[in-house]
Amino acid sequence: MSQSSIRLRDRREAGRLLASKVHEYGDTENLMVLAMPRGGVPVAYEIATALEAPLDLFLVRMLGVPGYDEVAMGAVTTGGATVLNSDVINYLKIPTSTVDLVAERERMEMEKRRIGYCGGRASLKVEGRTIILVDDGLTTVSTVRYAVQALKQLGPARIVLAVPIASQSLWDTVCKDVDHCISLQTSDQFGAGAAWYQDFIQPPDSEIRDLIDRASVRAGRLERCNVQ
């Protein structure tokens, strides 16, 4: 498809359009929508609202190689999952102690962000549930792919990946790792995500907190927020 075939007004519109594509999961028992902050939250909110499903966050913190932070040697996520890139670690001969140190630092930062978004609420478990994992686009493979690998460690019954826009090559790669993939648009000539949205400004923390709260009230789960 050409890049001009779709242009979304904003993430909320993207979520509403995606919701129409995931309606088949509306009657699924133990369904949960997981949003990848920040940009995935407005998209996921519309899906969770349409499906009357609980909405939670799935935070991912990349483990950058010391001195080369843009190179990922793994990731940690909410729920206590850790995924390591053994190829990078072995090639660069990174000591286990260094990996552990970086992972602990990122876990602490992730916990700070979780509290900022969710306060002290209890956590929802993903084990045995059908999970719809949502982001605002798939332009780089690392974060979403790490998220999927980490999510699998938490024992969901099924993982559905839903993103509005995606690079075709990355989409083909990531979709091998999940049970079902849903998108509005994929393209072989894929630019930055901002090229596909009229409004691509990152939502502030206050908006994320508000959407999570509103979805929680609607699902009757105000005391619950983040995954475990």
Q: Could you read off the pLDDT of 18-72 as tens digits, one per residue?
A: 999 999 998 899 999 999 999 999 999 999 999 999 999 999 999 999 999 889 9
Query: Is the model's pLDDT at 221 over the cut of 60?
Result: no
CA–CA dist 78, 24 (Å, integer): 27
Query: Is the model's pLDDT at 215 over the cut of 90?
Result: no
**Residues 43, 37 contacting (CB under 8 angstroms):** no
Q: Are residues 83 and 136 in the same domain?
A: no
Nearest to 47 by CA among 182, 173, 227, 155: 182
Q: Are residues 51 and 153 in the same domain?
A: yes
Q: What is the mean pLDDT of the chain?
A: 88
Q: Are residues 126 and 68 in the same domain?
A: no
**pLDDT confidence of residue 50:** 93
Which of 84, 116, 148 is the C-terminal boundary of a domain?
Answer: 116
Q: Are residues 213 and 105 in the same domain?
A: no
**pLDDT confidence of residue 134:** 97
CATH number at 76 reads 3.30.1310
Q: Are residues 180 and 126 in the same domain?
A: yes
Determine the average pLDDT of the residues in 74-83: 93
Determine the average pLDDT of the residues in 86-107: 96
Q: Are residues 214 and 170 in the same domain?
A: yes
Query: Is the model's pLDDT at 122 over the cut of 80?
Result: no
**pLDDT confidence of residue 124:** 74
Determine the average pLDDT of the residues in 104-125: 85
Query: Is the model's pLDDT at 109 over the cut of 50?
Result: yes
Q: Are residues 74 and 105 in the same domain?
A: yes
Which of 95, 116, 137 is the C-terminal boundary of a domain?
Answer: 116
Query: Is the model's pLDDT at 118 over the cut of 60?
Result: yes
The domain total for the chain is: 2
Model pTM score: 0.90
**pLDDT confidence of residue 200:** 86
Q: Are residues 27 and 74 in the same domain?
A: no
Q: Are residues 158 and 109 in the same domain?
A: no
Query: Is the model's pLDDT at 216 over the cut of 90?
Result: no
Q: Are residues 68 and 53 in the same domain?
A: no
**pLDDT confidence of residue 42:** 96
**pLDDT confidence of residue 4:** 43
Q: pLDDT exceeding 70 applies to what percent of the chain?
A: 89
209 Cβ contact partners less than 8 Å away, ≥ 6 residues apart: 116, 117, 118
Please write the tens of the pLDDT for every residue from 148-203. Answer: 999 999 999 999 999 998 888 888 999 999 999 999 988 776 556 677 888 888 99
Give the domain range for residue 84. Answer: 62-116
Pull the structure tokens for residue 108.
């602490």
Q: Are residues 46 and 112 in the same domain?
A: no
- Cα-Cα-Cα-Cα dihedral of 26, 196, 77, 153, to 10°? 50
**pLDDT confidence of residue 192:** 62
Helix H segments across the chain?
11-19, 40-51, 86-92, 96-118, 141-153, 168-174, 205-218
Which of 51, 86, 116 is the C-terminal boundary of a domain?
Answer: 116
